[in-house]
């Protein structure tokens, strides 16, 4: 399980860096400052949660089942939250109107909150 968590964390960290560089260089010329700031929010949250997954993989106080549950919520949360933000921020560059998927962003945020909540509950249940 930890190998899967580490590889997922590395993938999301790597793609956050790639997307951040893409936003800072290529998109800077075609997006407004507000759109760039929105895109950057997606990158930040993706990187925060890549680091969260690294912490999860290194943690020895959680069962494999709990880690797997947190991993699933985090993956879906990153895809829904950051993914939808990337699409919404670059909406003006495409023929498809991604505003129709705007409702996915808060769902992704909720999934990330659930992942963190599971972690918190597991730590609170632990005996000192």
Instruction: Supply 12's token pair.
Output: 């999301």
Range with the poorest average pLDDT among 34-43, 78-87, 91-100: 91-100
Write the CB contacts of 102 (distance below 8 Å, at least 6 apart in sequence). 84, 88
Instruction: Supply 3's token pair.
Output: 């190998």
Mean pLDDT on 93-122: 93
For the chain, how many structural domains are there in total?
1
**100: pLDDT confidence band, cut at 50, 70 and 90?**
confident
41 in helix, strand or coil?
A: helix
pLDDT of residue 128: 63
Q: Is the pLDDT of residue 2 over 90?
A: no
Do residues 103 and 50 lie in contact, with contact meaning Cβ atoms separated by under 8 Å?
no
Strands (E), 32-107: none
- The string of DSSP codes covering 47-58 is HHHHHHHHHHHH
> What is the value of pTM for the model shown?
0.92
Residue recorded with tokens 């599971």: 118
Q: What share of the chain is helix, strand, coil (3-state, %, to 5)?
A: 85, 0, 15
Range with the poorest average pLDDT among 6-10, 30-34, 72-76: 30-34
Question: Could you tell me the residue range of the domain that residue 96 belongs to?
Answer: 2-125
pLDDT of residue 67: 97
């Amino acid at each position: 399980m930890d190998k899967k968590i580490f590889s997922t964390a590395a993938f999301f960290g790597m793609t956050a860096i790639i997307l951040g560089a893409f936003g800072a260089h290529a998109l800077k010329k075609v997006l407004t400052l507000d759109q760039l700031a929105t895109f950057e929010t997606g990158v930040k949250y993706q990187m925060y949660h890549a680091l969260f997954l690294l912490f999860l993989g290194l943690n020895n106080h959680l069962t494999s089942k709990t880690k797997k549950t947190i991993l699933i919520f985090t993956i879906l949360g990153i895809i829904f939250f950051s993914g939808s933000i990337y699409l919404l921020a670059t909406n003006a560059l495409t023929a498809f109107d991604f505003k129709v998927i705007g409702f996915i962003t808060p769902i992704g945020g909720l999934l990330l909150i659930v992942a963190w909540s599971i972690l918190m509950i597991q730590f609170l249940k632990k005996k000192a």
